[in-house]
Amino acid sequence: MSNQYEKLFSPLKLNNKLELKNRLVMAPMTNFSSNEDGTVTKAELDYYARRSKGVSMVITACTYVTENGKGFPGEFAAYSDEFIPSLRELATAIKKEGSKAILQIFHGGRSCPPNLVPNGELVSASDVAQENNVAPRPLEETEIEEIIAAFGETTRRAVEAGFDGVEIHGANGYLIQQFYSPHTNRREDKWGGTVEKRLAFPLAVVDAVKKAAEKATNPFIVGYRFSPEEPETPGLTMEDTFTLIDALADKELDYIHASLMEFASEPRRGADTSKSRIEWIVERANGRVPVIGVGSVYTAEDAKKAFDTADIALLAIGRELIIDPDFVQKIEQGKENEIVSVLDKDKQAELVIPDPLWNAIINSPGWFPGV
């Protein structure tokens, strides 16, 4: 390994709990490949196992915590104890290859396809519809409490299934973000209005998850993923994100994870463009909580540049690990010139990519380099 990549392979212990062998993790990516009954398929297990050798930590695709939270076709479930054996298979497949297994947990809220949820009824903080989707029904207070409890119960299942942690999915416009956003939360009760009230649901979820995680007998971490900004007005700005980071740091989370398409993307509102979003996020975190960066990293140089430009603790790799599952090992072995950064459309079997994910990639021009 070249000396210039040493930082990528230094070990890290998160909050004196989980020992990570390097600073590279697999980003959470939906793969559309689970069984109709919500269990994990063999194709999924093989897909994850193929990508679990080099990275220190694999963050799975999101799983839904209640039956009405399913956000994607072919998404695996975790809303009932009946899914613990399926979840255990996934955790085992990842850990067997030497990586830590982190289960991403979420509720889709207004973003769920109506055909995937009971009675086609969508729920959210308020009745603000997502473009090209039906309007959601505002959740009643008892339902809000039930969903908060469901996040805790799903964490308990993750512990029982052998995962090393969970990541709360508070990003990409799903239910947790819908409560924090002034665009989607128009409530006037204790769950909406001021920024503090809009924070109530995300922080209650964090509390429920942490309480369940504390019962683990092995090291078990809790992370939180967030989207820094929204395009809508009113909508989340970097200023809102700074408030969120402060609140999450106070909860003593094991990491926070910025959801970005481009690592070096600049702020829209709430911060000036003298720094990238990730640089502002790291500055605000100020060492209180480790930060995971992400976004369009396809080469060893991209990875090195990410660590050089922002003091991130970890770097998540997404699409590149689908294109080249040996990305991390090639850098570690000094073979970074052999890294493949453009998808080879003739190598689906060799890359161990399930058919539903493959079809989604091939039919989405511009999503992946080479497609």
pTM confidence score:
0.98
Instruction: Give the span between the Cα atoms of 265 and 300, in whole angstroms.
Output: 19
| Contacts with 306 (C-beta within 8 Å, 6 or more apart), sequence order | 263, 293, 297, 312, 315
Mean pLDDT, range 272-295, rounded to an integer: 97
At residue 1, does pLDDT exceed 80? no
The answer as to whether 167 is a domain residue is yes
Instruction: Give the span between the Cα atoms of 345 and 365, in whole angstroms.
Output: 12
Task: Assign residue 197 the CATH number of its domain.
Answer: 3.20.20.70
Q: Which bin fits 366, alpha (ψ -120 to 50), beta or left (φ > 0)?
A: left
Q: Which of 15-19, 29-33, 45-49 has the lowest mean pLDDT?
A: 15-19
CB 48 within 8 A of CB 93: yes
The pLDDT confidence band at residue 106, using thresholds 50, 70 and 90, is: very high
The pLDDT confidence band at residue 16, using thresholds 50, 70 and 90, is: confident
The answer as to whether 55 is a domain residue is yes
pLDDT digits (tens, 9 = 90+) for 240-251: 999 999 999 999
* Residue appearing with tokens 């603000």: 128
pLDDT digits (tens, 9 = 90+) for 183-238: 999 999 999 999 999 999 999 999 999 999 999 999 999 999 999 999 999 999 99
At residue 15, does pLDDT exceed 90? no
Mean pLDDT, range 44-73, rounded to an integer: 98
* Residue appearing with tokens 């899914």: 83
Mean pLDDT, range 82-102, rounded to an integer: 98
The answer as to whether 368 is a domain residue is no
The residue range of the domain holding 237 is 3-362
The answer as to whether 320 is a domain residue is yes
At residue 269, does pLDDT exceed 90? yes
pLDDT digits (tens, 9 = 90+) for 310-355: 999 999 999 999 999 999 999 999 999 999 999 999 999 999 999 9
Taking Cα atoms as reference points, which of 93, 82, 130, 88 lies closest to residue 109? 130
The answer as to whether 243 is a domain residue is yes
Domain count, the chain: 1
CB 132 within 8 A of CB 191: no
Pairing assessment for the beta strands 18-20 and 12-14 based on DSSP bridges: antiparallel
The answer as to whether 370 is a domain residue is no
The answer as to whether 150 is a domain residue is yes
At residue 357, does pLDDT exceed 80? yes
The pLDDT confidence band at residue 286, using thresholds 50, 70 and 90, is: very high
pLDDT digits (tens, 9 = 90+) for 159-169: 999 999 999 99
Taking Cα atoms as reference points, which of 93, 99, 44 lies closest to residue 72? 44
Mean pLDDT, range 272-283, rounded to an integer: 97
- Return phi, psi of residue 331, to 5°: -65, -45
The answer as to whether 371 is a domain residue is no
Which residues are catalytically annotated? 174
CB 18 within 8 A of CB 342: no
